[in-house]
């Protein structure tokens, strides 16, 4: 028997380590291809993973009043956040603020400060895998939207927030998530979208170009792999397709010099509006120009005051309540 085994040649013997010597050449090719694909997928996920930047100071150190909170989101995770009450002891119209990819709540404080000064209750959160929030197996724009939904629902039960008076502000991926969330809800007073991209496939193509990766075959595979991982087709979650389904007022804000998301994306989104409830404001500055946002915060505040007043008037009309708008004190 030993002789028969030896007569089969080396192709018939098993490697003592891998056993791969027993495989015919086509099978070896398949195994090598699958191993290479697994390694490529691993490297791709590392390359697309959002960097985590932790908050470096407390609200008090920033000279702001409020409290640190944690709230539940999906998959049993907890989100870190800050709740800044309005400038009165009574409940105030509230704004949920969501950062962009790789950012955190602290980076949005330059915008939160004038909002609180204007009398709004402000809730800033960190999405999963960001800032002080829990880790999860991956981040995605739909998961940003899930976390935003969790924050909105949590805020409804807080004494600092006026019932039926909640708006959202998102930046970049957070802006796309805000539009996705608003397309599925009817309880928001308004949305401010800061530097939203028009379509995630276009963002991915820009990322591929920056990495000098050709669309065929690598880019094509990357786009399909990412959609598989996040569990959503890009067309279904693209702001180009969610914005037309948003019924509340929307303010699109974009930097004229944005090199991350070209201002053309904002114009493409605006062209998809279905009514006069969507407006566009192009400001000077880059993708993360918080200085410009602070300088033009009065425009964002005026928009919020208007939409909160409109939602109050609608509610009073539906209920027959002749109460004055809660924003009247800010006029």
pLDDT tens digits for range 128-168: 999 999 999 999 999 999 999 999 999 999 999 999 999 99
Q: Is the pLDDT of residue 321 over 70?
A: no
- CB contact at 8 A, 55 and 83: no
Closest CA to 310 of 273, 270, 277: 277
Give the strands of the sheet with 190-194, arranged side by side.
67-72, 78-84, 121-125, 92-98, 161-171, 190-194, 250-255, 278-283
Q: Is the pLDDT of residue 32 over 50?
A: yes
Confidence category of residue 323, pLDDT binned at 50, 70, 90: low
Q: Is the pLDDT of residue 10 over 70?
A: no
Q: Name residue, tokens 């490297």.
A: 43
Confidence category of residue 1, pLDDT binned at 50, 70, 90: very low
Q: What is the mean pLDDT of the chain?
A: 89
Q: Is the pLDDT of residue 8 over 50?
A: no
Q: Name residue, tokens 């990819």.
A: 101
Q: Which of 35-39, 89-93, 125-129, 220-224 has the highest mean pLDDT?
A: 125-129
Q: Is the pLDDT of residue 325 over 80?
A: no
How confident is the model at residue 314, as a pLDDT? 65
- Structure confidence by residue, pLDDT tens digits, 59-103: 999 999 999 999 999 999 999 999 999 977 899 999 999 999 999
How far apart, in whole angstroms, are the C-alpha atoms of residue 18 and residue 238? Answer: 45
How confident is the model at residue 3, as a pLDDT? 41
Instruction: Map out the domains of the chain with their CATH numbers.
Output: 67-197+238-330 (3.40.50.1820), 200-228 (no CATH)
Task: Give me the residues paired with residue 193 across strands.
Answer: 170, 252
Residues 256-279 have a mean pLDDT of 97
How confident is the model at residue 33, as a pLDDT? 74
Q: Which of 20-24, 43-47, 170-174, 290-294 has the highest mean pLDDT?
A: 170-174
Q: Is the pLDDT of residue 292 over 60?
A: yes
Residues 242-251 have a mean pLDDT of 98
Tally of CB atoms within 10 A around 42: 10
Q: What is the pTM of this model?
A: 0.86
How confident is the model at residue 322, as a pLDDT? 55
How confident is the model at residue 213, as a pLDDT? 87
């Amino acid at each position: 028997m030993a002789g028969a085994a030896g007569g089969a040649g080396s192709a018939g013997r098993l490697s003592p380590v891998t056993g791969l010597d027993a495989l015919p050449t086509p099978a070896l090719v398949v195994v090598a291809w699958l191993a290479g694909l697994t390694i490529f997928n691993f490297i791709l996920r590392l390359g697309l993973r959002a960097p985590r930047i932790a908050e470096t100071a407390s609200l008090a150190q920033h000279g702001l009043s409020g409290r640190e909170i944690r709230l539940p989101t999906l998959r049993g995770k907890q989100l870190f956040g800050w709740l800044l009450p309005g400038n009165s002891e009574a409940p105030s119209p509230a704004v949920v603020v969501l950062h962009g990819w790789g950012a955190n709540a602290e980076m949005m404080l330059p915008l939160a400060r004038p909002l609180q000064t204007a009398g709004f209750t402000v809730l800033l959160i960190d999405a999963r895998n960001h800032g002080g929030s829990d880790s999860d197996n991956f981040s995605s724009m739909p998961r940003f939207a899930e976390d935003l939904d969790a924050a909105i629902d949590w805020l409804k039960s807080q004494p600092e927030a006026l019932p039926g008076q909640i708006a959202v502000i998102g930046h970049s991926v957070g802006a796309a998530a805000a539009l996705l969330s608003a397309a599925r809800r009817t309880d928001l007073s308004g949305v401010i979208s800061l530097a939203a991209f028009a379509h995630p496939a276009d963002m991915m193509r820009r990322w591929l170009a920056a990495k000098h990766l050709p669309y065929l075959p690598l880019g094509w595979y990357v786009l399909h792999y990412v959609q598989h991982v996040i569990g959503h087709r890009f067309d279904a979650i693209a702001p180009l397709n969610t914005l037309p389904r948003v019924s509340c007022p929307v303010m699109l804000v974009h930097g004229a010099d944005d090199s991350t998301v070209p201002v053309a994306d904002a114009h493409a989104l605006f062209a998809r509006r279905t009514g006069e409830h969507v407006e566009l404001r192009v400001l000077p500055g880059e993708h993360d120009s918080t200085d410009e946002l602070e300088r033009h915060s009065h425009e964002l505040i005026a928009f919020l005051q208007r939409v909160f007043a409109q939602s109050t008037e609608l509610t009073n009309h539906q209920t027959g309540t002749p109460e004055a708008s809660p924003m009247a004190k800010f006029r």
